[in-house]
Amino acid sequence: MNISQLRRHMQEKEIDLTIFLNAGFEPNPNMFYFSGYSGAGLLAIPKKQQAFLMVPEMEASKAKRLNFKIIEKPKGKRFFQILKQHSKAKTIGLETENFSILALKELRKQFKRIKIKDISKACYDIRKVKCADEVKIIKQGCKITDEIMLDCFKNFKKFKTESEVKAYLEYNAKKKGCDLAFPTIVASGKNSALAHHQTEDKRLTKGFCIIDFGVKYKGYCTDITRTIYLGKPKKQEIELYNILLGCQNSTIKQVKIGARCADLFIHAQKQLGKYAKYFNHGLGHGIGAQIHESPNLYTESKDVLVKDMTFTIEPGIYLKDSGIRIEDDILVTDKGYEILTKTEKGLITI
Amino acid sequence: MNISQLRRHMQEKEIDLTIFLNAGFEPNPNMFYFSGYSGAGLLAIPKKQQAFLMVPEMEASKAKRLNFKIIEKPKGKRFFQILKQHSKAKTIGLETENFSILALKELRKQFKRIKIKDISKACYDIRKVKCADEVKIIKQGCKITDEIMLDCFKNFKKFKTESEVKAYLEYNAKKKGCDLAFPTIVASGKNSALAHHQTEDKRLTKGFCIIDFGVKYKGYCTDITRTIYLGKPKKQEIELYNILLGCQNSTIKQVKIGARCADLFIHAQKQLGKYAKYFNHGLGHGIGAQIHESPNLYTESKDVLVKDMTFTIEPGIYLKDSGIRIEDDILVTDKGYEILTKTEKGLITI
């Protein structure tokens, strides 16, 4: 919740007021990061005065549990109407990637002749290095994720469909008081060839089965993928799996303060040799309040690793009729790295 | 999937091309409605030529299962770059409430000097009257929702925390191949006083317990709320419940073609008598591809009921330390209405 860092950015860019808006069910990650609040509302961070959350009457009791200044928005009033009573800002910072054309039009009705500046990148930059509390939460989230994955493997024999596996994983996340970081992917047989397969109420079929799952624990995301084998793998399938596993392990070993994300990607590609062309997505992404955040681990990334970044490393190989992917969550440390997800990586056959 | 209705609107408003964009995990309801596609991508509906979906390579195999023209977006290219190759539109329709400032900036880079027109309202208007297939799906979704609620009540004694109830409901939804329409609310004891309580890993406590749950079945949302009582209710608590139930039943009976939504709201308030001031939210909302859509049932609504609208009726009473809400999904029919959710409404005590 590093408001002071954001304020330094605001000072530099001559921004009087930064606002974050959440009109729907999905939490706004920046609003959550800077205030701890994940409901509908508006977070206002003036350059100097106290920051405050403006929330609909209905959400007020929930919001008041936070250690934050709360203003109730009366029914029938618009957020920006009330904001106008509290601010004379001339330059407003907002997330242009997350702020709708309609909201801007309404904002301009109340604040005439304002200048708008995008603060999306500044927020990603602030959020990409985690503080001690965040690291602790993400570590704990990864521990819970490991427990759920292990339990899932132990019970795997009783699942008949992809949906059942997904439902079981997500049930256990919720029983442990977590939300989901993203919709779980369970892709068996031919479906494993699609990196973003949508889990179906479809019988599990023989062959590789990709399980990509993550929880949201105290507002922070985890993300793990394991590929298991249903049935008896052929020799060349085991070889393929081990090439990917070797690639993933070797790439993780490259993680250290100062390493360039683009170089990690290139390293992973090299390890895959002739299979590099079947690796058709990024190597990884930052995890935090959002499931995809900075740093980005792909060819054109300009990100350089800094202590206390948390991100995934997840190479994959997708052939015509089957695919594999292995993904862990990594923390950059003084000594290099720590692997936060510890679920077994040898090929499990079921 | 009424593209022809949208095209009539486009003709009227002189819109050359309508676009819907989905950059994230959450399906874009209009994109889903007009194309059946719920992944990341861009849906383009030209005034006259064939509509097409543009999807990232990774999503192409999934998209190709639909009966729709698909264009793959090569890696490294931007959606609007490719769109430019397929369209010379001068006036573009888009959802201003759902289209970010950043996306508009990128669109304008490719399409210089275009005029933008908002099509949000037109889409809500088209979607608010359901076709026969949609009604069938929503009815089936409500049937599944009822089954899950009934099963939950039968097993209620074994739940210790709010999270467990939520996890159980959501698990059963997924086992039946459904998604969730929204995050389930389970609010017991004092928590029931918050209409939008966030379910916690907190022991169920005596008193009223609100359960607000809905599934997404074949892309369509359901939404039901029941309030049960944990322990033995006092006489005045039973009376309060029956006032609310009487209000809900009586309001449903007002539903017919031509009824004004604002009048339904006023009717409900009258039924609540001295408790009207403790009813602090809308009476209901349309359900469909989105959990909150048209019509809106609140005081200032201008919506008038039309055959084949589907919406909720959900009055509530929220006192200082406890709250109750009862919600059903309603279909407007020639004869008046049909209640689609059929879970028992007499006060269940556990």
B344 domain-assigned: no
B15 in the same domain as B70: yes
Q: How many structural domains comprise chain B? A: 2
A151 in the same domain as A102: no
Scan residues 162-181 of A and list those with Cβ closer than 8 Å to B: 163-164, 166-168, 170-172, 174-177, 179
For chain B, give the mean pLDDT: 94
A345 domain-assigned: no
Q: What is the mean pLDDT of residues B9-33?
A: 93
B134 in the same domain as B121: no
What tens digit of pLDDT does each residue of B273-294 get? Answer: 999 999 989 999 999 999 999 9
* pLDDT for the residue B68: 93
* pLDDT for the residue A350: 92
A172 in the same domain as A36: no
* pLDDT for the residue A231: 96
Please indicate whether, in this complex, the C-beta atoms of A61 and B280 are within 8 angstroms of each other: no
For an interface test with B, the pick among A59, A66, A78, A101 (most B C-beta atoms closer than 10 Å) comes out as A101
Give mean pLDDT in consecutive 10-residue pieces for chain A, a chain of 350 residues: 90 97 86 94 96 91 89 90 96 95 96 96 96 97 98 96 93 90 92 76 91 96 98 96 98 98 97 95 96 94 97 96 96 98 96
Q: What percent of chain B has pLDDT over 90?
A: 85
A283 in the same domain as A141: yes
Q: Where does a domain end: B96, B127, B158?
A: B127
Q: What is the mean pLDDT of residues B135-158?
A: 97
B73 domain-assigned: yes
A348 domain-assigned: no
Scan residues 128-167 of B and list those with Cβ closer than 8 Å to A: 163-164, 166-167
| A99 → chain B, closest CA residue | B100
Please indicate whether, in this complex, the C-beta atoms of B280 and A120 are within 8 angstroms of each other: no
- For residues A42 and B88, give the distance between their C-alpha atoms in angstroms, rounded to a whole number: 38
- For residues A187 and B92, give the distance between their C-alpha atoms in angstroms, rounded to a whole number: 38
How many CB atoms within 10 Å of residue A186? 28
* pLDDT for the residue A55: 95
* pLDDT for the residue A305: 98
pLDDT at B1 over 80: no
B350 domain-assigned: no
- For residues A254 and A297, give the distance between their C-alpha atoms in angstroms, rounded to a whole number: 13
- For residues B263 and A26, give the distance between their C-alpha atoms in angstroms, rounded to a whole number: 31
| B291 → chain A, closest CA residue | A25
| B281 → chain A, closest CA residue | A58
Q: What percent of chain B has pLDDT over 70?
A: 99
A227-253 burial, b at 16+ Cβ within 10 Å, e below that, comes to: bbbbeebeeebeebbebbbebbeebbe
- For residues B311 and B332, give the distance between their C-alpha atoms in angstroms, rounded to a whole number: 9
A179 in the same domain as A111: no
- For residues A15 and A94, give the distance between their C-alpha atoms in angstroms, rounded to a whole number: 10
- Are residues A137 and A107 in contact, defined by beta-carbon separation less than 8 angstroms? no
Phi/psi of residue B171, nearest 5 degrees: -60, -45
How many helices (DSSP H) and strands (DSSP E) are in chain B?
A: 10, 19
Q: Which domain CATH number covers B104?
A: 3.40.350.10
- For residues B149 and A258, give the distance between their C-alpha atoms in angstroms, rounded to a whole number: 54
| B180 → chain A, closest CA residue | A183
Report CA-CA distances (Å) from A189 to A167, A207, A233. Answer: 19, 5, 12
Q: Where does a domain end: B127, B144, B176?
A: B127
Report CA-CA distances (Å) from A99 to A105, A314, B109, B339. Answer: 10, 31, 19, 38
| Lowest-confidence pick of A259-273, B173-187, B225-239 | B173-187
Higher confidence at residue B305 or residue B190? B305
What dihedral do alpha carbons B44, B47, B49, B52 form, nearest 10°? 10
- Pick from A149, A129, A303: nearest CA to A215: A149
Which residue range is the domain that position A184 belongs to? 132-339
B148 in the same domain as B77: no
For an interface test with B, the pick among A124, A151, A171 (most B C-beta atoms closer than 10 Å) comes out as A171
pLDDT at B195 over 90: no
A283 domain-assigned: yes
Contact pairs from chain A to chain B, CB under 8 Å: 111
Q: Which domain CATH number covers B303?
A: 3.90.230.10
A56 in the same domain as A91: yes
- For residues B333 and B310, give the distance between their C-alpha atoms in angstroms, rounded to a whole number: 10
B91 in the same domain as B187: no
A349 domain-assigned: no
pTM: 0.87
Please indicate whether, in this complex, the C-beta atoms of B163 and A175 are within 8 angstroms of each other: yes
B182 in the same domain as B79: no
A187 domain-assigned: yes
* pLDDT for the residue A1: 55
Q: Where does a domain end: A107, A127, A147?
A: A127
A37 in the same domain as A50: yes
Please tell me the total number of residues recorded for chain A in this structure. 350
- Pick from A244, A15, A166: nearest CA to A174: A166
B226 in the same domain as B145: yes
ipTM topping 0.90? no
Q: What is the mean pLDDT of residues B177-198?
A: 87
